[in-house]
Structure 1
Amino acid sequence: MNYDHEHYHKPEKNRPWWKTPYGMAAIFFFVVAGYFLITEHGAHIGSNWIWLILLLCPLMHVFMHGGHNHTDDEEGK
């Protein structure tokens, strides 16, 4: 029997979602929607900018922690 399990420990070469064609299309539509949101609702954004900054904090926290690769087996190393 072959007990070589080396292929289980190699990292997968998956592309991030934003590098896929669907991700690029989604980013394009988000940018276009953001542009129209800012141009049409500029007066509302100008008066409530502090709340938008506070909203960015949890969003950045959620999306920027994706690359940490936390696992439970780090304790033994």
Structure 2
Amino acid sequence: MHHHENQNEPQGSFLASRTGLVLMGFLAIGGFLLFTEHRAHVLGALFWVLPFACLFMHMFMHGGHGGHQDHGSHRQPDERNPS
């Protein structure tokens, strides 16, 4: 039977570890260099963010309402108030 002393200790987050911090630093430096070298492309693409965000939100966030039918004509009478 093997018992490990570190078995009950909480494991830290990867991003809080030394490796995670170094990775975040390299990603931040790389992102900054990419942005400064390709600023015209990035700022030119920002024009398309709002139209595509609206399109994708309309396509994916309206999934549960059952389409665009007239909801008022298909109402069921309330069981508590049968009027």
TM-score, normalised to structure 1, is 0.49
Q: If each structure's helix is expressed as a fraction of its own residues, which one has the higher value?
A: 1
